[in-house]
Structure 1
Amino acid sequence: MATGGNTVESKLPAELPLDFLKKITNDFSDERLLGTGAFGSVYKGILEDGGVIAVKRLGENSPVPSEKIFANEVQNMMVLKNENIVKMVGFCRETHKKLVTIGNRHINANITETVLCYEYFQKGSLDKHIFDESTTVDWEVRFKIIKGISKGLQFLHNLPRPLRHLGLKPQNILLDDNMAPKIADFGFSRIFDQGQTRMKTGSVVGTVGYMAPEYMYHGEISNRSDIYSLGLIILEITTREKNSSSTDQKHAREYIQGVTENWNLEQIMVKYPELDADGISQVENCIRIGLQCVDIDQESRPTINEIVNMLNS
């Protein structure tokens, strides 16, 4: 559960003034900085009653215009209520005058600040826990995380107007105090009309190592785009080995090939000596599901409903 989550939800209005957000983040100070990504920086916001929220200040140079991110995240996320989806608790979009220099001229320009506020999770993102050998995340917890992410994606894909996330990766999955996963960062997301199965885009953005090939090379978006990313995450959680490529699709395929060749029954028993037959079977199942999800042929990838059923079987 997020620190101060109930307090935040009950006391913060949906639309927040910029001055208030500056106050709770100490004017977006470096001491409150939680992390920086493609869209901007995230700060720890401390409320007067001790509650905490995550405050994402969108950067001017993000790969997607701030107004598009704002529309995606606010309009899409305010209505998303699911135990495996991060909850948005507030937002701000204010325009103010700022003195800027263009050539030799100084002019007052209109600058729009866009800030999005979410539940805060002290444990941070998934990538901080599944690869570090110094942390002990046992198989039972790993399996629970895989099932939770899959259920969150199932919720998104089965909405009346389905949502494709397009940014799934361990850095965009947060963990609560009980290690339950929460899908976050919807800046790249796309909403489909009911019955729509595909769309094309000329603007391909995201982390290359987790992108489905048909999306990266042809701009084709479908529910199978998210399935590919989910498959890589399942493999990373299960093998504890990182898909080290964020910039090269070729290296991502090499990672997948390595899992295919090396993670047989013998390898599983060596890496998970503490597991009984049921546990070994779960690991085998997750490897098999993950590899199906990252099939080059998108039509060969399972649907999210099939994945959840396989994980529960």
Structure 2
Amino acid sequence: MDFKLHDIEAITNNFAEAQKVGSGGYGEVYRAIHEGEEIAVKKLHQLQGLDNKQFDSEFRNLRNIRHQNVVRLIGYCYETKSKYMKHNGELVFATIMERVLCFEYMHGGSLDKHIQDESCGLEWPTCYKIIKGTCEGLDHLHTSQGKPIFHLDLKPGNILLDESMTPKIGDLGLSRLVASTKTRQTEMRDGTLGFMPPEYIDSGFISKKFDVFSLGVIIIKMLAGDKSYFRCSEMPSEQFIELVTEIWTKKLQAKPGYSSHEIDMLGVTSCVEIALRCVDRDRNKRPCINDIVHELDQLEAKLKEMSLASDVSNDATVQVRSSTTGGPWVPLLCFFSILESSVLTVLTCQIYVC
């Protein structure tokens, strides 16, 4: 929906400092309540040369995006406002353009708060959930909107988390609008540059592989940490994978009663291998995002098989899936353990019931 500036000023108490929850290169973020829903209000900085028609068109289109891994844009506004302000030490009456974006509020903050010097401060299942969800969100932007939507500023600070640690891609659209402004140059100096592919830094070339490169950097920072990330370009891929494996082996083994080391380590090494391909200097060698999602789907299937096999080896398991609607025949898997010649043999019997 389109917001009126006076309504936004009312729910933020005129952009009160007490309601501010964050700030960045693009603007200040405030927490507010609108029609009973908690929302994030981003008041953009004054950006010279930002075209109002382009701004309206960009966010009118982005408002239609609906995906569980993309932050939902609730509404926006842009209005001209006249007020007294200081200029060169003097108070002048000036006309300024106020631009505000309203998003769903993300209670878990941003991913960058969890990345440490050595790997991520989160447990592996949560790390994987964030990696997979970010990939699926990016895949939706690249492949499900007819015309691909490029983010162009993907980084941990733009991966937002809800109460259940589900990741959602934020700040969509802003990077394209302010690409040539002074703010954008400041963002590059402040760290965004490290998430940009070499072809963009060298010649300004943009393709789908731009966001894939940024995704790879995010995954590597999650798995190797800020300090170790810079070593991935200084050593062969195999050696870097060994480094990450060592980091996570120590981390997983430190958990009391931990018993899924082999399964989780396969997930860790698979993700870092994908990430290293994403940051290849040759963009043609980087995978497409839909290929990455497919690869992760296959990985999950393999990990589930390994987990099931591990459960069966520990004790007999009966898994029943029944239908109350008289639908298709349903498999009943029964596992029987028979001790023969001091060797434990596991037999699998598949029975069908209506």
Which category of TM-score, normalised to the shorter sequence, fits these structures?
0.7 to 0.9
5+ residue gaps, structure 1: 1-13, 192-200, 245-251
* Match status 1:22 vs 2:2: no
Checking the alignment, whether the CA contact within 8 Å between 1:83 and 1:152 is kept in structure 2 is yes
Q: Which residue of 1 aligns with 2:55?
A: 70
Q: For residues 104 and 287 of structure 1, do their structure 2 counterparts lie closer, same or farther at Cα, with a shift above 3 Å needed?
A: closer
Checking the alignment, whether the CA contact within 8 Å between 1:164 and 1:189 is kept in structure 2 is no
Q: Which residue of 2 aligns with 1:270?
A: 250
Instruction: Determine the C-alpha separation between the residues in 2 that align with 1:306 and 1:87.
Output: 25
Structure showing greater Rg: 2
Residue 229 of structure 1, aligned match among 210, 214, 219: 214
TM alignment of 1:1-313, pairs within 5 A: 14-47=1-34, 49=36, 51-61=37-47, 65=50, 67=52, 70-71=55-56, 73-100=58-85, 108-131=93-116, 137-158=122-143, 159-189=145-175, 206=188, 207-239=192-224, 241-242=225-226, 254=231, 256-257=233-234, 260=237, 261-264=239-242, 265-273=245-253, 274=258, 275-313=260-298
SS in 1 for 2:70: coil
- Please tell me the root mean square deviation across aligned C-alpha atoms, in Å: 3.0
* One-letter amino acid of the counterpart of residue 164, structure 1: F
Instruction: Determine the C-alpha separation between the residues in 2 that align with 1:41 and 1:222.
Output: 29
Figure out how many residues of one structure are paired with residues of the other and give that number.
Answer: 280
Q: For residues 80-119 of structure 1, give each alpha carbon's deviation from its aligned partner in whole angstroms, at most 9, with x where no partner exists.
A: 1111000011111111222356679976432211100000
5+ residue gaps, structure 2: 299-354
SS in 2 for 1:43: strand
State the TM-score, normalizing by the size of structure 2. 0.71
Checking the alignment, whether the CA contact within 8 Å between 2:19 and 2:32 is kept in structure 1 is yes
* One-letter amino acid of the counterpart of residue 114, structure 2: H
Q: For residues 258 and 98 of structure 1, do their structure 2 counterparts lie closer, same or farther at Cα, with a shift above 3 Å needed?
A: farther
Q: For residues 57 and 202 of structure 1, do their structure 2 counterparts lie closer, same or farther at Cα, with a shift above 3 Å needed?
A: closer
SS in 2 for 1:54: strand
Q: For residues 197-221 of structure 1, give each alpha carbon's deviation from its aligned partner in whole angstroms, at most 9, with x where no partner exists.
A: xxxx878755101111111121000
Checking the alignment, whether the CA contact within 8 Å between 2:241 and 2:273 is kept in structure 1 is no
Q: For residues 169 and 258 of structure 1, do their structure 2 counterparts lie closer, same or farther at Cα, with a shift above 3 Å needed?
A: farther
* Larger RCO: 1 or 2 (CA < 8 Å, sep 6+): 1
Q: For residues 114 and 269 of structure 1, do their structure 2 counterparts lie closer, same or farther at Cα, with a shift above 3 Å needed?
A: same
Identity level (%): 38
Structure 1 residue 131: Cα displacement: 2.8
Instruction: Determine the C-alpha separation between the residues in 2 that align with 1:116 and 1:152.
Output: 20
State the TM-score, normalizing by the size of structure 1. 0.79
The range that moved more, 226-235 or 100-109, is 100-109
